[in-house]
Structure 1
Amino acid sequence: MKNILVITASIFGQNGQSSQLVSKTLEKLTRQHPDAQVHIRDLAKNPVPHLDAERFGAFLATPADATAAQSDVQAFSDELIAELKQADAVLLGVPMYNFGVPSVLKAYFDHIARAGITFRYTENGPEGLLEDKPVYVLAARGGIYAGTPNDSQTPFLRSFLGFLGLTSVEFIYAEGLNMGDDHKSQSLDKADSVIDALTA
């Protein structure tokens, strides 16, 4: 494993529970792969612009016809996609906000979903163009949602990542973090055990 891409999205930065779970997972992986290069993208600290008509239009423009502003949008998207392509593993910290993923993470997704670059449509349906690699989703939640109809994150993330060709996705949950200290401690211990097992 030569390159590890770390993506966090907690509004609390590195103090967020999802970010701390990412840090624990990263520590395990770098201990096994001490020569691995780590690239960290903190979407809360350096947010990706949300998709609007102008940015979407830039994605549709051909390089020959693109304006200078559209070329800048394409170049930024290309940079995000290059990071993802170069990674041998991805650590994705995902807190739950109002039953969904953070808006900054959705904005990031909107910039890496590029027709003809990360996916394409065929007569048999969509096809992901990214080479599969391990993706560890570290999901921190105040309540308990995994396996219930209120867990909108898991199916969305699995579907979106699979759409791009990333199907080797592992979910590590820390749930009930706002349901008392005992529950929080037990949940974090359980998440640590899952991280240990997945990175063994």
Structure 2
Amino acid sequence: MRRILVVNSSVSGDTSVSRSLVDYAVKRLLESDPDNIVVQRDLGYGPIPHLTPATVAGIRGVATTPDEMAAQALSDQLIEELRASDVIVFGVPMYNWSVPTSLRAWFDHVLRPRVTFAYGEDGPKGLIGGKRAIVIQTRGGVYTEGPTKPIDFQEPYMRQLLGFIGIKDVAFAHAERIGYGPEARDAGIVTAKSEIDGITARMMSRLH
């Protein structure tokens, strides 16, 4: 039995392509072991507050005020969800060439000095290891290749921040061209599902 943490970040509700693909990925993971535990963290319907001058010390320093202690308590909760998981499935639509701000706020609470990363003589070291992540990305255009690839700030961002806290085993699935009309959208979803099939099959074979 494994624990799967699902982190959705779309604000599009039931029309979200990334949400539907996340559901598809979780279904595939459960097929290998129906007893797997799924924990949902929905940043679209329950956004994480952005850090402010009143709360930042709860993450970056020593919490002393009620606001700082509340921020630290939320950070503790999010980090515990992450630590307790074996697999993390992220639903990440591309907003303005990057990730939704709700996901950025999640990372701001999860990337915590001396808790999820630390600095040593050899530089930073991630303290969250032994996890596997699936990042499902949806894009209106094409960013895996061609002239727009250099302005993809979504995938490099996810890879960097996850790696910074020690999550190196990260697989990406892409649904592209979903803004090009119904036929292109459907084709992009089919491609993403095929990628998810391969990722989940490989992942679960290694977990067993």
Same-fold call, TM > 0.5?
A: yes
Give the CA deviation at 1:135. Answer: 0.4
Report SS of the residue matched to 1:199: helix
Q: Does the alignment pair 1:18 with 2:18? A: yes
Whether the 8 Å CA contact 2:56–2:68 is kept in 1: the answer is: no
- Give the letter for the 2:156 counterpart: P
- Give the letter for the 1:186 counterpart: A
- Give the letter for the 2:35 counterpart: D
Question: What's 1:49 paired with?
Answer: 49
What are the residue-to-residue correspondences of 1:84-99 with 2, within 5 Å? Answer: 84-99=82-97
Percent identical: 39
Q: TM-score, normalised by structure 1?
A: 0.95
Give the CA deviation at 1:25. Answer: 0.1
Whether the 8 Å CA contact 1:176–1:187 is kept in 2: the answer is: yes
What are the residue-to-residue correspondences of 1:1-200 with 2, within 5 Å? Answer: 1-62=1-62, 66-147=64-145, 148-200=149-201
Q: TM-score, normalised by structure 2?
A: 0.91
Whether the 8 Å CA contact 1:61–1:70 is kept in 2: the answer is: no
Give the CA deviation at 1:100. Answer: 1.2
Report SS of the residue matched to 1:116: coil
Question: Pairwise CA RMSD of aligned residues?
Answer: 1.3
Gaps of 5+ in 1: none
- Give the letter for the 1:92 counterpart: F
Gaps of 5+ in 2: 202-208
Q: Deviations over 1:7-51 (max 9, x none)?
A: 001111243001111000000001112111111111010000011
Whether the 8 Å CA contact 1:100–1:152 is kept in 2: the answer is: yes
Whether the 8 Å CA contact 1:135–1:170 is kept in 2: the answer is: yes
- Give the letter for the 1:118 counterpart: T
Report SS of the residue matched to 2:54: helix
